[in-house]
Amino acid sequence: MFKEKKSIKIFEKPADTEFCSFKGSIAVVIDVLRATSTIINAIHNGCRGVVPVAEIERALLLRQQYFAQKPLLCGERYGKKIDGFDLGNSPAEYQNEVVRDKVLILTTTNGTPALTAAQEAKVIYVLSLLNLETTVNQVACLNEDINIICAGTNGQTSLEDNVCAGLFINELVKKSDKFLTDNKCSEIVTQANEYRDNLLTMLRTSRHGQYLEEIGFGPDLEFCSKLNFINACAVFENGMIINSFLVS
């Protein structure tokens, strides 16, 4: 019987999405270093939800809106914690005893703008190397077109996001034959497979990885490189990223 194929498209940086509408589609957003890795660790460690915002001013406004829930203000600029904020953007900071039951308002340089850029989509999945397999299992069950949006670094494509996207596509097409990929997807998959067994080295050679090591966040690279380390699936819906396993 004829089975309708679904497309997988990759956008290597947010600017590539400029003339696209994601209305009604499924989006998957990646910022391996470090926003989506941090979000997945926070969700895994029991936060109530993460509200991603592009601007610091918006984060401060939202703190008033969520005041009764005593939210934590989180985020970075130039990789470092923003003055006056509770947490930076290192996944190591987001331990259970710190984030449990908390609403986190998060603003980062590239990751949270990529998430908010995809906001029109029906469902947005938050992807990192940490939760790749779990997210593949969820997305493979959907009968929808998939748009993968990489945050990149400061307007440029980033090796680490492309590798994560390639591994994701590779696993997704292995799981289900309903997806159609284009040449760009094939290139990204080939590149990802070259790095598959050397993810930490890949992060250490990436531009942003080198910068993070220079400013003292080397251990974050080790954490962010752990493929399938966390069994969590996070979705961004109605303004908040939540653990999709807890949605009834």
Residue with Cβ nearer ligand MLT (189 or 203): 203
Instruction: Work out how close the CB of 144 gets to ligand MLT at its nearest, in angstroms, rounded to a whole number.
Output: 26
| Triad 161, 167, 169: Cα angle to 5° | 100
Residue 120: both structure tokens together: 């029109």
Residue with Cβ nearer ligand MLT (11 or 179): 11
Paired residues of 30 in beta bridges: 127, 150
Residue with Cβ nearer ligand MLT (28 or 185): 28
What distance lies between CA 49 and its chain's CA centroid?
14
Instruction: Work out how close the CB of 90 gets to ligand MLT at its nearest, in angstroms, rounded to a whole number.
Output: 8
Instruction: Work out how close the CB of 31 gets to ligand MLT at its nearest, in angstroms, rounded to a whole number.
Output: 5
Residues lying near ligand MLT in the complex (CB under 6 A): 31, 33-35, 76, 79, 89, 108-111, 151, 212
Q: At a CB cut-off of 8 Å and minimum separation 6, what does 248 contact?
A: none
Q: Which of 26, 11, 28, 14 is nearest to 128 (CA)?
A: 28
Q: Which of 84, 104, 86 is nearest to 41 (CA)?
A: 104
Residue 141: both structure tokens together: 């069950």
Residue with Cβ nearer ligand MLT (25 or 108): 108
Q: Where would I find the H helices in 158-228?
A: 159-175, 183-195, 199-205, 207-214, 218-224
Instruction: Work out how close the CB of 212 gets to ligand MLT at its nearest, in angstroms, rounded to a whole number.
Output: 6
Instruction: Work out how close the CB of 151 gets to ligand MLT at its nearest, in angstroms, rounded to a whole number.
Output: 6
Residue with Cβ nearer ligand MLT (62 or 115): 115
Residue with Cβ nearer ligand MLT (82 or 172): 82
CA dihedral 44, 40, 170, 177 (to 10 degrees): 60
Instruction: Work out how close the CB of 14 gets to ligand MLT at its nearest, in angstroms, rounded to a whole number.
Output: 11
Instruction: Work out how close the CB of 248 gets to ligand MLT at its nearest, in angstroms, rounded to a whole number.
Output: 31
Asked whether the beta carbons of 135 and 43 are under 8 A apart, the reply is no
Element (H, E) at 9: strand 6-11
Residue with Cβ nearer ligand MLT (121 or 150): 150
